Amino acid sequence: MLTRKQHELLIFIDKHLRNTGFSPSFEEMKEALNLKSKSGIHRLITALEERGFLKRRAHRARALEVLRLPDNLAPRAAGAASAPAAAAPPAFAPNVIRGNFAQNLPGVARTANDAAAVHLPLYGRIAAGLPIEALRDGGESVEVPAAMLGNGEHYALEVAGDSMEGAGILDGDTVIIRRGEMADNGAIVVALVDENEVTLKRLRRRGNSIALEAANPRYETRIFGPDRVKVQGRLIGLVRRYN
């Protein structure tokens, strides 16, 4: 018998795996269950492991596998692909209103199917580990769903490194950035450090200082004075290719 929170977490993880192909972050799980700390998520995951519902894959970040679901849902064999619960209600099918999302977006080249996708300039590789200068090669572009974009100017960068893997950003991913100099505390941003280093990190304001946090415990948080860091954009999406 699972507690209500254990049941909610297991269903959330299973749904996230089926929708995205990878397990949710601890921050996403904490917010989904309306918990105040990640320690509660750790305890719930441990309890689900002990009861044989979950398995952690060794040496991999954010690697959770749902071994089985509660008895009132469809059974699931270890390692098998997730399937919708047999007794569950039909999956939500939203009504889609098609619109010209790409219209009037600065810096965006429209495709033939402009209601479905747009091309963004791909500036180059950005270090999600050690900062490097972003390459600004305007000759390359990446196609992304138009619905991913809102107002403003956008561009894409290829991630190099593993320091943001705890936030689901892996080496080789393409991140979609909304250009701007402002970002909320806790947002993942493209930050320019000392006018010559560009890095992708989580932004934290601490008094008169700015902290750039990695999402991998192997990397230290870097602290700077406010005049040393300039925000060049905020992460709004991610594109991943599977070979």
Catalytic residues: 163, 201
Distances (CA, A) of 80 to 9, 14, 174: 19, 12, 28
Cα 120 from Cα 177, distance rounded (Å):
10
Distances (CA, A) of 117 to 66, 100, 172: 33, 10, 21
Q: Please name the helix (run of DSSP H) or strand (run of DSSP E) that holds residue 200, with its range, or none.
A: strand 197-206
8 A C-beta contact, residue 96 and residue 103? no
Q: Residue 127 carries which DSSP code?
A: E
Q: Please name the helix (run of DSSP H) or strand (run of DSSP E) that holds residue 6, with its range, or none.
A: helix 4-20
Three-state secondary structure call for residue 30: helix
State both tokens at 232. Answer: 């060049």
